[in-house]
Amino acid sequence: MKIDIDKVIKELSDLPDYERQLMLQKVEGESNEYGLGRFDNMKHSETDFDTPIYDIPYTNSILKDLGMFRTRLLKMNPYQCYSYHVDLSKRVHIPLITHDHCFMVIDDEVHRYPADGSHYLVDTTKRHTAINASNDVVRIHIVGCVTY
């Protein structure tokens, strides 16, 4: 599946401003912020986060077609990185804005995911981190959990 990144970015341009993460799917009846950050103390499973929050038809159709849930828009500023950690499930990454100096390290191996309309299945059940070592590019990915 080739994703029209420009169309996604245009749809997302009207969403609320956010600092690091913005939920795109939620658990019916819960707040739009429920599910952000660490998942240790949640009362639902990741697969329960399947209700679209925003009226973004093209983007929501991609999430559905790829079987994504608990999907978030993730922003990483220059000179930032995440802790080295493991997740409960694999993730699909859809890079929207990135740079050659933005990359992930998975089991000590460097991976770069260009914003070229591709989506990437990333085994985040392995130890990993994301790094934005650029000087001026804000890295933005759509990231959602999957069961495959």
Mean per-residue pLDDT pooled into runs of 10, the chain (148 residues): 97 96 96 84 90 98 98 98 95 98 98 98 98 98 97
First-to-last C-alpha distance (Å) of the chain: 16
Q: CB under 8 Å to 39, separation ≥6 — which residues?
A: 46, 87, 88
CATH number at residue 136: 2.60.120.330
Average pLDDT, the chain: 96
CB-CB contact of 73 with 15 (8 Å): yes
45: burial class by Cβ within 10 Å (0-12, 13-18, 19+)? middle
What pLDDT, on the 0 to 100 scale, is given for residue 7? 98
Whole-number Å distance between alpha carbons of 68 and 81: 24
CB-CB contact of 94 with 112 (8 Å): no
> Considering only CA atoms, which of 128, 99, 123, 125 is closest in space to residue 113?
99
Tens-place pLDDT, residues 6-49: 999 999 999 999 999 999 999 999 999 999 877 777 889 999 99
Ranges assigned E (strand) in 3-138: 21-23, 25-26, 51-52, 69-76, 80-81, 90-97, 102-106, 109-111, 120-122, 128-132
Print the domain residue range for 40.
Answer: 5-146
What pLDDT, on the 0 to 100 scale, is given for residue 38? 73
Tokens of 34: 């429920």
Percent of the chain whose pLDDT exceeds 70: 99
Number of domains making up the chain: 1
The SS3 of residue 2 is: coil
